[in-house]
Chain A
């Protein structure tokens, strides 16, 4: 009886599969491209455990075990770079979460439709401009002879070299990153705010709750779930300090405070052709990031009502 059942099941599944062939065909090109350009390079991770020589290739290069990782860990610069990465990324995560939430709350109180509309148009814009262009703009603005230093000079403050001073450079990276993303980041919170039932506010007003109390007991609980999800998801980016941005803003003068894992991987890998060492550093980064991101998705899906696929 059971055998007949599984046989029937298999038949039914075959029928279903045949009916779905067009769907599989639609996925085929995408799957092939991802197989080649995402999965195939994963095989290249073997280089991290080799003394890779271009002339010998992946199959005949000498295996060296964990030598590359040990070399990285014993290299003092590596720990400085790790510190830079985590500090810059961490500050970006915290401010990148707080500023958009506060901005959305403030924008939500604006009554004038035109004012709100124009504001939104202006603050979403920087997100769409690349760091190449913004890097150029900020190097103009923040140069010793730039408009920011002129303004500071008029206020009687000293001349700062923002892009070349190790004390100031991480702050410049964090501030400009928040500047670029806060408007766009506020979209999800604004959507959540408009989704709150206006009946709740009316009921609260009738009961004598003031604006402050309404914010505390209706608005904040209303956006708390989405803030939670965004906070959890951002935890996966602790090692992403923003390669695009740093590559367009740093210079050897600020390597001490501005060099991050991604720029280091790029420089030793593609500029110095130390393929094995670079791959080892890259593997370290993507392994840690994958674990953090998986945890983030897990918590966001389990506790935050978040759906991925």
Chain B
């Protein structure tokens, strides 16, 4: 048998090692941050912490839970993710369903396609968009994080390619029986595409949980900012302040240990938790969903 040649066996051993190494490489940084967040200051500044907590210490988590600003930012992010995710999923389905019809059924389809295509290719840029949001009075408003990005065109494309591949017979039968388009969408298309809807819902919610830039530019008051923006400020300030002052290595090292690494790590870890929690459940959906959506087009 050719399969069992010596060279191939050698390759397989090598293959398992490399692939396993890459898998660990993706996971170890996260584990390290978790370990740092649970270790005390002495262990951290001595650099003793690798992937397991040293001198277990929950002080950073206790401190964080008492930090009102952090807790508030966390809840703003939760609400934003729920509301923003729901809006995006609704808009995606509403836009994708009509666009999945053939040009014969809907002759004006091509007009809409160009409308969406141009919007996805070209934009007014950062300053005009910012000034528009400002002019609409959305600065410092919760809706500044929801409305400007309410229609995710990439997700619309994924969804419409999925809708297009559904069998047409049931829909035709329903239409002949006098059902309206809305009924066909609600009772035939949506139940048939639960996996794809789960996928785009995941994309939308992860996107909302992670986005920090809108919170940074549209809010002048930090009290309204979502967690991602709060963390961005924390991360960029902790590096900025230290680096601005000095270029001397020894002073730098000292300053780096003074900044509370474990508190920062604890905050980062809490910022990851929602994603780590939903990730295993939806993983099977997104692999299935993305394959159907982008390849069979």
Give the tally of cross-chain contacts (CB within 8 A): 291
Q: Which residue of B lies closest to A105 (CB)?
A: B15
A231 near B: Cβ within 8 Å? no
Chain A residues with CB under 8 Å of B291's CB are 187-188, 191
Q: How many residues of B contact A (CB 8 A)?
A: 110
Residue from A31, A120, A182 having most chain B Cβ neighbours under 10 A: A31
A129 touches B275 (CB 8 A): yes
Q: Mark B167-201, 1 if CB is under 8 A from A, else 0.
A: 00000000000001110010000000000000000
Point out the residue from A26, A121, A293 that lies within 8 Å of B283, measured CB to CB.
A121
Point out the residue from B2, B95, B149, B232 that lies within 8 Å of A248, measured CB to CB.
B232
**B residues in contact (CB < 8 Å) with A:** 2-3, 5, 8, 11-12, 15-16, 18-20, 22-27, 29-30, 32-33, 36, 45, 47, 49-50, 91, 94-95, 97-99, 101, 105-108, 112-113, 115-117, 119, 121-132, 147-151, 153, 156-157, 160-161, 180-182, 185, 206, 209-213, 217, 228, 231-232, 234-236, 238-240, 243-244, 247, 249, 252-253, 256-257, 261, 264-265, 268, 271-272, 275-276, 279-280, 283, 287, 290-291, 294-295, 297
B297 touches A187 (CB 8 A): no
A137 touches B124 (CB 8 A): no
Chain A residues with CB under 8 Å of B8's CB are 210-211
Q: How far is the CB of A214 from the nearest CB of chain B, in Å?
A: 9
Q: How far is the CA of A293 from the CA of B119 in the complex (A)?
A: 13
Q: How far is the CA of A122 from the CA of B280 in the complex (A)?
A: 10
Q: How far is the CB of A196 from the nearest CB of chain B, in Å?
A: 13
B98 touches A308 (CB 8 A): no
B127 touches A269 (CB 8 A): yes
A299 near B: Cβ within 8 Å? no
Q: Which residue of A lies closest to B280 (CB)?
A: A121
A141 touches B129 (CB 8 A): no
Residue from B156, B249, B264, B268 having most chain A Cβ neighbours under 10 A: B268
A123 touches B26 (CB 8 A): yes
Q: Mark A158-175, 1 if CB is under 8 A from B, else 0.
A: 010101100000000000
Q: Which residue of A lies closest to B122 (CB)?
A: A290
Chain B residues with CB under 8 Å of A147's CB are 32, 47, 49-50
Enumerate A110-146 residues with CB–CB distance to B below 8 Å: 110-111, 115, 118-126, 128-130, 132-133, 135-141, 143-146
A40 near B: Cβ within 8 Å? yes
Q: Mark A35-70, 1 if CB is under 8 A from B, else 0.
A: 011111111110100000000000000000000000
Q: Which residue of A lies closest to B296 (CB)?
A: A307
B249 touches A144 (CB 8 A): yes
B2 touches A208 (CB 8 A): yes
Residue from B108, B131, B206 having most chain A Cβ neighbours under 10 A: B131
B272 touches A37 (CB 8 A): no
Q: How far is the CB of A243 from the nearest CB of chain B, in Å?
A: 8
Q: How far is the CA of A42 from the CA of B129 in the complex (A)?
A: 8
27 A–B pairs (Cβ distance < 8 Å), ordered by A:
A30-B151, A36-B132, A38-B123, A44-B132, A109-B11, A109-B12, A115-B20, A121-B283, A122-B26, A130-B228, A133-B271, A136-B265, A137-B30, A137-B268, A139-B239, A140-B261, A146-B47, A161-B252, A183-B26, A251-B239, A266-B126, A278-B127, A279-B128, A294-B121, A307-B297, A309-B157, A309-B160
B127 touches A132 (CB 8 A): no
A33 touches B122 (CB 8 A): no
Knowing that A251-B240, A308-B117 are A-B contacts, what are 5 other residue pairs whose CB atoms are under 8 Å apart, sorted by A's residue number? A126-B26, A132-B271, A138-B29, A164-B252, A191-B291
Q: How far is the CA of A192 from the CA of B126 in the complex (A)?
A: 38
B132 touches A40 (CB 8 A): yes
Q: How far is the CA of A121 from the CA of B19 in the complex (A)?
A: 13
Point out the residue from B95, B112, B212, B283 that lies within 8 Å of A132, measured CB to CB.
B212
Q: Which residue of B lies closest to A266 (CB)?
A: B126
Q: How far is the CA of A106 from the CA of B22 in the complex (A)?
A: 11
